Amino acid sequence: MSDDKITHFGYSQVPVQDKAARVRAVFDSVADRYDLMNDLMSLGIHRLWKRHAIELAGVRRGQRVLDLAAGTGDLTERFARIVGAEGEVISSDINAAMLSRGRERLTDLGLVGNLDYVLANAETLPFASDSFDCVTIAFGLRNVTHKQLAINEMFRVLRPGGRALILEFSHPTLQPLRRVYDLYSFTVLPNLGRVIVNDSESYRYLAESIRMHPDQETLRAMMEEGGFERCDYFNMTGGVVAIHRGYKL
Protein backbone atom coordinates (compact mmCIF):
# COMPACT_ATOMS: atom_id res chain seq x y z
CA MET A 1 0.00 0.00 0.00
CA SER A 2 1.46 3.41 -0.99
CA ASP A 3 2.41 6.01 1.64
CA ASP A 4 -0.41 8.36 0.61
CA LYS A 5 -2.97 5.63 1.40
CA ILE A 6 -1.80 4.85 4.93
CA THR A 7 -1.60 6.92 8.09
CA HIS A 8 -0.75 6.39 11.72
CA PHE A 9 -3.21 5.37 14.41
CA GLY A 10 -1.00 5.74 17.43
CA TYR A 11 2.08 3.70 16.50
CA SER A 12 0.13 1.48 14.11
CA GLN A 13 -0.20 2.01 10.37
CA VAL A 14 -3.77 1.91 9.05
CA PRO A 15 -5.51 2.75 5.77
CA VAL A 16 -6.33 6.45 5.56
CA GLN A 17 -10.03 5.76 5.12
CA ASP A 18 -10.12 3.74 8.37
CA LYS A 19 -8.61 6.22 10.82
CA ALA A 20 -11.66 8.42 11.46
CA ALA A 21 -13.78 5.36 12.30
CA ARG A 22 -11.10 4.07 14.67
CA VAL A 23 -10.91 7.45 16.42
CA ARG A 24 -14.71 7.48 16.76
CA ALA A 25 -14.58 4.03 18.35
CA VAL A 26 -12.03 5.24 20.92
CA PHE A 27 -14.21 8.13 22.02
CA ASP A 28 -17.41 6.06 21.89
CA SER A 29 -15.71 3.85 24.45
CA VAL A 30 -14.67 6.64 26.83
CA ALA A 31 -17.43 9.26 26.37
CA ASP A 32 -19.41 8.52 29.53
CA ARG A 33 -16.40 8.94 31.82
CA TYR A 34 -14.33 11.29 29.69
CA ASP A 35 -14.42 14.19 32.17
CA LEU A 36 -13.51 11.98 35.11
CA MET A 37 -10.60 10.50 33.20
CA ASN A 38 -9.35 13.96 32.21
CA ASP A 39 -9.28 14.99 35.86
CA LEU A 40 -7.50 11.80 36.90
CA MET A 41 -4.99 11.81 34.05
CA SER A 42 -3.93 15.43 34.49
CA LEU A 43 -4.58 15.76 38.24
CA GLY A 44 -7.02 18.51 37.29
CA ILE A 45 -4.37 20.60 35.54
CA HIS A 46 -6.24 20.39 32.22
CA ARG A 47 -8.63 23.00 33.60
CA LEU A 48 -5.77 25.48 33.97
CA TRP A 49 -4.54 24.73 30.44
CA LYS A 50 -8.01 25.38 29.04
CA ARG A 51 -8.45 28.54 31.10
CA HIS A 52 -5.21 29.93 29.68
CA ALA A 53 -6.30 29.06 26.13
CA ILE A 54 -9.58 30.92 26.67
CA GLU A 55 -7.69 33.97 27.92
CA LEU A 56 -5.41 33.92 24.88
CA ALA A 57 -8.41 33.61 22.53
CA GLY A 58 -9.50 37.13 23.46
CA VAL A 59 -13.16 36.43 22.70
CA ARG A 60 -15.54 39.32 23.35
CA ARG A 61 -19.27 39.82 23.79
CA GLY A 62 -21.28 39.45 20.61
CA GLN A 63 -18.68 37.44 18.71
CA ARG A 64 -19.12 34.14 16.86
CA VAL A 65 -16.93 31.22 17.96
CA LEU A 66 -16.36 27.73 16.57
CA ASP A 67 -15.12 25.14 19.08
CA LEU A 68 -13.84 22.10 17.17
CA ALA A 69 -13.40 18.69 18.81
CA ALA A 70 -15.52 20.26 21.53
CA GLY A 71 -16.12 17.01 23.37
CA THR A 72 -18.04 17.59 26.59
CA GLY A 73 -17.86 21.34 26.13
CA ASP A 74 -15.36 22.82 28.58
CA LEU A 75 -14.30 25.60 26.18
CA THR A 76 -17.76 25.89 24.66
CA GLU A 77 -19.26 26.58 28.08
CA ARG A 78 -16.90 29.45 28.85
CA PHE A 79 -17.17 30.97 25.38
CA ALA A 80 -20.99 30.89 25.55
CA ARG A 81 -20.89 32.87 28.78
CA ILE A 82 -18.43 35.40 27.33
CA VAL A 83 -20.19 36.11 24.01
CA GLY A 84 -23.59 36.45 25.70
CA ALA A 85 -26.97 36.49 24.03
CA GLU A 86 -25.68 38.71 21.23
CA GLY A 87 -23.06 36.15 20.19
CA GLU A 88 -23.04 32.53 19.12
CA VAL A 89 -20.90 29.48 19.82
CA ILE A 90 -20.89 26.38 17.62
CA SER A 91 -19.86 23.19 19.42
CA SER A 92 -18.58 20.74 16.83
CA ASP A 93 -17.18 17.22 17.05
CA ILE A 94 -16.72 14.26 14.73
CA ASN A 95 -17.97 11.89 17.44
CA ALA A 96 -21.73 11.78 18.03
CA ALA A 97 -21.43 10.30 21.53
CA MET A 98 -19.11 13.07 22.69
CA LEU A 99 -21.24 15.78 21.07
CA SER A 100 -24.38 14.37 22.73
CA ARG A 101 -22.63 14.21 26.09
CA GLY A 102 -21.58 17.83 25.72
CA ARG A 103 -25.07 18.96 24.77
CA GLU A 104 -26.56 17.21 27.81
CA ARG A 105 -23.99 18.74 30.13
CA LEU A 106 -24.36 22.30 28.85
CA THR A 107 -28.14 22.09 28.77
CA ASP A 108 -28.09 20.96 32.40
CA LEU A 109 -26.04 24.08 33.15
CA GLY A 110 -28.77 26.21 31.59
CA LEU A 111 -26.75 27.24 28.55
CA VAL A 112 -29.23 27.51 25.70
CA GLY A 113 -30.07 30.13 23.12
CA ASN A 114 -26.60 31.11 21.90
CA LEU A 115 -25.33 27.56 21.34
CA ASP A 116 -25.59 25.19 18.40
CA TYR A 117 -24.18 21.69 17.91
CA VAL A 118 -22.77 20.38 14.64
CA LEU A 119 -21.44 16.89 13.89
CA ALA A 120 -18.55 17.56 11.52
CA ASN A 121 -15.13 16.47 10.37
CA ALA A 122 -12.56 19.23 10.98
CA GLU A 123 -11.03 18.52 7.55
CA THR A 124 -14.23 19.51 5.70
CA LEU A 125 -16.14 22.05 7.76
CA PRO A 126 -19.76 22.72 6.72
CA PHE A 127 -19.49 26.47 7.30
CA ALA A 128 -19.15 29.43 4.96
CA SER A 129 -15.83 31.17 4.60
CA ASP A 130 -15.20 34.22 6.83
CA SER A 131 -17.84 33.11 9.36
CA PHE A 132 -16.17 33.18 12.79
CA ASP A 133 -14.21 35.58 14.95
CA CYS A 134 -12.40 32.73 16.70
CA VAL A 135 -11.84 29.03 16.04
CA THR A 136 -10.46 26.69 18.69
CA ILE A 137 -9.53 23.02 18.86
CA ALA A 138 -8.48 21.57 22.21
CA PHE A 139 -6.88 18.13 22.44
CA GLY A 140 -8.36 17.13 19.11
CA LEU A 141 -5.94 17.98 16.32
CA ARG A 142 -3.70 14.99 17.04
CA ASN A 143 -6.64 12.69 16.21
CA VAL A 144 -7.28 14.28 12.80
CA THR A 145 -6.14 12.21 9.83
CA HIS A 146 -4.98 15.14 7.68
CA LYS A 147 -3.94 17.84 10.12
CA GLN A 148 -2.93 20.36 7.47
CA LEU A 149 -6.40 20.17 5.90
CA ALA A 150 -7.98 20.92 9.28
CA ILE A 151 -5.67 23.91 9.80
CA ASN A 152 -6.51 25.15 6.31
CA GLU A 153 -10.21 24.85 7.09
CA MET A 154 -9.80 26.75 10.36
CA PHE A 155 -8.21 29.57 8.38
CA ARG A 156 -10.93 29.51 5.72
CA VAL A 157 -13.88 29.88 8.09
CA LEU A 158 -12.24 32.69 10.10
CA ARG A 159 -13.14 36.28 9.37
CA PRO A 160 -10.28 38.68 8.59
CA GLY A 161 -8.93 39.79 11.94
CA GLY A 162 -9.95 36.49 13.52
CA ARG A 163 -7.67 34.10 15.38
CA ALA A 164 -7.27 30.38 15.85
CA LEU A 165 -6.15 28.59 19.02
CA ILE A 166 -4.81 25.02 19.07
CA LEU A 167 -4.46 23.53 22.56
CA GLU A 168 -2.71 20.19 22.35
CA PHE A 169 -0.31 17.83 24.04
CA SER A 170 3.16 18.53 22.72
CA HIS A 171 6.80 17.66 23.31
CA PRO A 172 8.37 18.24 26.75
CA THR A 173 11.33 20.59 26.55
CA LEU A 174 13.35 19.03 29.41
CA GLN A 175 14.95 15.60 28.99
CA PRO A 176 14.32 14.41 32.60
CA LEU A 177 10.65 15.36 32.23
CA ARG A 178 10.40 13.33 29.02
CA ARG A 179 11.47 10.15 30.80
CA VAL A 180 8.95 10.64 33.61
CA TYR A 181 6.26 11.57 31.10
CA ASP A 182 6.89 8.43 29.03
CA LEU A 183 6.70 6.22 32.10
CA TYR A 184 3.45 7.87 33.16
CA SER A 185 1.90 7.77 29.68
CA PHE A 186 2.60 4.12 28.90
CA THR A 187 2.15 2.66 32.37
CA VAL A 188 -0.23 4.77 34.45
CA LEU A 189 -2.63 5.92 31.71
CA PRO A 190 -3.51 2.46 30.34
CA ASN A 191 -4.00 1.18 33.89
CA LEU A 192 -6.31 4.10 34.70
CA GLY A 193 -8.26 3.35 31.55
CA ARG A 194 -8.58 -0.30 32.54
CA VAL A 195 -9.83 0.53 36.04
CA ILE A 196 -12.12 3.48 35.26
CA VAL A 197 -13.61 2.66 31.86
CA ASN A 198 -12.53 -0.98 31.40
CA ASP A 199 -10.55 0.06 28.32
CA SER A 200 -6.76 0.19 28.52
CA GLU A 201 -6.20 0.10 24.74
CA SER A 202 -7.97 3.41 24.06
CA TYR A 203 -5.70 5.16 26.53
CA ARG A 204 -2.64 3.44 25.12
CA TYR A 205 -3.69 4.85 21.74
CA LEU A 206 -4.05 8.33 23.25
CA ALA A 207 -0.52 8.13 24.66
CA GLU A 208 0.83 6.97 21.31
CA SER A 209 -1.09 9.66 19.40
CA ILE A 210 0.58 12.33 21.53
CA ARG A 211 4.03 11.02 20.55
CA MET A 212 3.08 11.09 16.86
CA HIS A 213 1.83 14.68 16.99
CA PRO A 214 4.06 17.40 15.48
CA ASP A 215 6.35 19.26 17.85
CA GLN A 216 5.90 22.94 18.66
CA GLU A 217 7.95 24.40 15.82
CA THR A 218 6.55 22.00 13.24
CA LEU A 219 2.98 22.87 14.18
CA ARG A 220 3.73 26.58 14.00
CA ALA A 221 5.13 26.06 10.49
CA MET A 222 1.95 24.18 9.53
CA MET A 223 -0.16 27.11 10.70
CA GLU A 224 1.95 29.48 8.63
CA GLU A 225 1.55 27.18 5.63
CA GLY A 226 -2.21 27.36 6.17
CA GLY A 227 -2.12 31.15 5.83
CA PHE A 228 -1.96 32.23 9.46
CA GLU A 229 0.22 35.17 10.44
CA ARG A 230 1.78 36.31 13.72
CA CYS A 231 1.91 32.66 14.78
CA ASP A 232 3.23 31.94 18.24
CA TYR A 233 2.97 29.29 20.91
CA PHE A 234 3.04 29.01 24.67
CA ASN A 235 4.51 25.99 26.45
CA MET A 236 2.82 24.86 29.64
CA THR A 237 3.93 22.29 32.20
CA GLY A 238 7.36 22.09 30.64
CA GLY A 239 6.03 21.62 27.11
CA VAL A 240 3.76 18.70 27.98
CA VAL A 241 1.05 20.93 26.51
CA ALA A 242 1.33 23.89 24.14
CA ILE A 243 -1.12 26.52 22.94
CA HIS A 244 -0.57 27.67 19.36
CA ARG A 245 -2.17 30.89 18.16
CA GLY A 246 -2.42 32.43 14.71
CA TYR A 247 -4.29 35.28 13.06
CA LYS A 248 -6.07 35.76 9.75
CA LEU A 249 -5.07 39.28 8.77
Radius of gyration of the chain (CA): 17
C-alpha to C-alpha distance for 249 and 236, rounded to whole angstroms: 27
Cα–Cα distances (Å) from 198 to 32, 36, 121, 195, 205, in that order, read: 12, 14, 27, 6, 14
Question: Binding site annotation covers 122?
Answer: yes
Measuring CA to CA, which residue among 172, 140, 169 is closest to residue 153? 140
Q: How far apart are CA 194 and CA 201, in angstroms?
A: 8
Other beta carbons less than 10 A from residue 188's beta carbon: 14
User: Is 93 annotated in some ligand binding site?
Assistant: yes
Tallying the residues shown for the chain, one arrives at 249
237 annotated as ligand-binding:
no
The answer to whether 191 is annotated as binding is no
Question: What gap in Å lies between CA 81 and CA 98, rounded to an integer?
Answer: 21
Q: Which residues are annotated as a binding site?
A: 72, 93, 121-122
Q: Which residues are annotated as a binding site for S-adenosyl-L-methionine?
A: 72, 93, 121-122
